[in-house]
Amino acid sequence: MKTTTDLHGSFFTAAPEKLAEALLARFLRYTRINTQSDPEKADAGIMPSTEGQRQLAGMLAGELRAMGIPAEVDANSYLLARIPPSPGKENAPVFGLCAHLDTSPDAPGGPVQPLVHENYGGQPLNLPGGVTLDPQTDCALQACTGGTIVTSDGNTLLGADDKAGIAGILTLAEFLVSAPDFAHGPVEILFSPDEETGHGMDKVPLDKITAKAFYTVDGGDLGEIEDECFHAWKCKAGFHGVAAHLGDAKGKMVNALQMAAAFVSMLPRQESPETTEGREGYYCPLEMSGSLEYAEVTVFLRDFTESGISRRIRCVEAVARAVQETFPGGTVSVESGRQYSNMKEKLDEHPEVLALAVQAAEACGVRVRSAPIRGGTDGSRLTELGIPTPNLFTGGHNFHSRTEWISLDQMVKMTETLITLTKLWSERHV
């Protein structure tokens, strides 16, 4: 089976079965490396926060160099490479592709044992780890009947977020260097550490990046191309109590843990991640720790508008004051900081970047859908830093969980879209 795409009179031919073979081999190899990030270390400025990310960066650099593509990994494990242009395309504009090395700390991260389910028959998948993927409750899985599905064994997440994006970018690179008749301009590649902790662009080597536009290959279902995300803030509430001997505590002790628990219970439960969808924002108490004398709660705030995020910050501060009034002798402090901003406003200043992605996907027979990201990507931060960066689909589903899975057929479409996007950029003028 072969497909041919016509772009302004230029033709290229790619065999989907060859792309599928290369993608699957790479993806399985990458998922077996535990690159789960460590939020505590990342918050302390340690990058990468885990050695598995450094190991994967080194492996990827070696694979790129073996293709003849120069690749550098810096001390913080950012990998930067550039695919050289074809002869005659040296003056084509540079664009970039980005994916992240780490996997989420929200579920067990390794060792990952990927399972390949060929010719998926549409039945529930009962994984050895006691997890079931049920197409009756997962419409996206049902839609992939007849294709190849990859899952973990149910004991860990899979790591499609974002090793699927990495596999797609490396397969694109291999295609470009092995297809001399496919004329293309220069393509920059950026692999970043600690995206899942919100620190993915903290130490990015901006001075070495020449592309004026990037695409994160970090999305989900087939056809999702995203140009909007949350405004994201993190609040840390500190609860200062008064310790005393438990047998003589009356009128003396103020329990910081009870203060923290009261604070969490007063946050609007109807505005939590598990009760919201679409363009609805939320409050999410993420971590709690402490003792009688001091406790701390970390809360993530998410909203699609600046006014909405401001309202949520005021709410957290009001709840903190209420807790302090409820526990005489105790005090509450709140520190709030921005993590990333909604990228839509800045992306709207560069509509051609998104338009090229849509054109590329549609040329590959993909029906494009646009929805706001209920989260963020490194593209959010890159866009803030002046490099417009929409997000492209990978074919991954149920990220950050033991039920994570990916469609190999959708990964092929992702890679075909990247190939076509490269062609479209090569036809632009600087």
Annotated binding site: 100, 161, 196, 218, 400
Q: Which of 38, 162, 174, 195 is catalytic?
A: 195
Which three-class secondary structure state does DSSP give residue 381? helix
Q: Work out the angle between the directed axes of helices 408-426 and 16-31 (0-180°, nearest 10).
A: 110
* Spacing of C-alpha 95 from chain mean position: 20
Q: Which 8-state DSSP code applies to residue 100?
A: E
Strand order across the beta sheet in which 225-226 lies: 71-73, 79-83, 187-192, 95-100, 214-217, 391-392, 225-226
Q: Is 226 a catalytic residue?
A: no
Alpha carbon distance 220, 191 (integer Å): 18
Q: What count of other Cβ atoms lies within 10 Å of the Cβ of residue 2? A: 9
Alpha carbon distance 408, 190 (integer Å): 23
Q: Is 227 a catalytic residue?
A: no
The dihedral region occupied by 88, where left means phi > 0, alpha psi between -120 and 50, and beta the remainder, is: left
Q: How many residues does the chain have?
A: 430
- 345 membership: H or E segment, kind and range: helix 344-347
> Which parts are annotated binding residues for Zn(2+)?
100, 161, 196, 218, 400
CB 237 within 8 A of CB 297: yes
Q: Work out the angle between the directed axes of helices 160-178 and 16-31 (0-180°, nearest 10).
A: 130
CB 188 within 8 A of CB 210: yes
DSSP for 26-61? HHHHHHTS--B--HHHHHTT-SSSSHHHHHHHHHHH
Q: Which of 38, 102, 271, 404 is catalytic?
A: 102
Which three-class secondary structure state does DSSP give residue 198? coil
| Active site positions, annotated | 102, 195
